[in-house]
Copies of this chain bind each other. A is one copy, B any other.
Amino acid sequence: MRARVHFTVAELDPAGLQDRTVVVLDILRATSSMVAALAAGARAIYPASNPEEAVRLASSLGREDTLLCGERKGLKVEGFHLGNSPAEFTPEKVAGKRLIMNTTNGTRALLSVTTAERVYVAALLNLAAVARVVARAEELTILCAGREDRFALEDAVCAGLLLERISELRDEEPELDDAASAAVVLSESFTPDAEFLAETIAGQALAEIGLGGDAQDCARLDVHDIVPVMSERMIRLEDAS
């Protein structure tokens, strides 16, 4: 396996993705919320590029059984059904529903890799399951959503942890680019628990708007044995195997 990591969307060359398996990470919080939503029985998630597109998409899909979700500056978009906290995505609210989601970093990252062969959505919540599926890939790209086009430590540490899990599942070590080597070192130095997440720049920003509890919910390692996969701009569950 040859593995590349991109710490921001800007580092990505979308033209070079055709033959690649891509994993998108936005630990605080978009991909954590997506995993929570699908684990809670949501039927599908549609990433939208802005709140207006989300509303248009809801109209075209039919408002029934459709929930608008997402944040601006961390807080629920006005008029939307749900924000971007994993705890909001309960079976009572999302089971059987289609979710249309727009967030500052995560949905943008997902929409930047639509040309890839395979796109998986990962968080700490489902890391082991994703590792099992992508360990078979020969050309792997891990895209960290980052924070407003800048490096986000929690995504980098999760990328390194995913690479370590993959190494354990394969006979040979993956060939790493510079960013992948850095991510592995970072995952060996930081423990991705709630305390760590709370201390990152994104975690501090969440605490400032009263959403500090999200760090706890996003830090729950391997609690969901599910693998969300994006196809035709729609994210659904693939059997973890």
**Which residues of A come within 8 Å of B, CB atoms?**
5-8, 10-11, 147, 149-153, 156, 177-179, 181-182, 185-186, 188-190, 200-202
Interchain CA distance A10-B8 in the complex, whole Å: 9
Pick the contact of A150: B11, B181, B185, B188 (CB < 8 A). B11
Please state if B182 and A156 are interface contacts (CB–CB under 8 Å): yes
Please state if B151 and A11 are interface contacts (CB–CB under 8 Å): yes
Contacts A177-B201, A178-B201, A201-B178 given; does A151 touch B185 at CB 8 Å: no
Please state if B149 and A178 are interface contacts (CB–CB under 8 Å): no
Interchain CA distance A150-B190 in the complex, whole Å: 23
Residues of B within 8 A of A150 (CB): 6, 11, 178-179
- Listed from nearest, the 10 A-B pairs whose CB atoms lie closest are A153-B178, A10-B10, A151-B179, A185-B189, A11-B150, A178-B201, A151-B178, A7-B151, A182-B186, A178-B200
Q: Determine how close the nearest CB of chain B comes to the CB of A183; give it in whole angstroms.
A: 9
Interchain CA distance A189-B156 in the complex, whole Å: 16
Residues of B within 8 A of A8 (CB): 8, 10-11
Residues of B within 8 A of A151 (CB): 5-7, 11, 178-179, 182
Please state if A11 and B177 are interface contacts (CB–CB under 8 Å): no
Please state if B182 and A182 are interface contacts (CB–CB under 8 Å): yes
Residues of B within 8 A of A5 (CB): 151
Interchain CA distance A185-B151 in the complex, whole Å: 14
Residues of B within 8 A of A149 (CB): 10-11
Interchain CA distance A177-B147 in the complex, whole Å: 12
Name the residue on B nearest A179 (C-beta): B151
Residues of B within 8 A of A11 (CB): 8, 10, 149-151
Interchain CA distance A181-B189 in the complex, whole Å: 11
Residues of B within 8 A of A147 (CB): 178
Interchain CA distance A7-B8 in the complex, whole Å: 10
21 contacts across the A-B interface (CB closer than 8 A): A5-B151, A6-B151, A8-B11, A10-B10, A10-B11, A11-B149, A11-B151, A150-B178, A150-B179, A151-B178, A151-B179, A151-B182, A152-B178, A153-B179, A153-B181, A178-B201, A178-B202, A182-B182, A185-B185, A186-B186, A189-B189
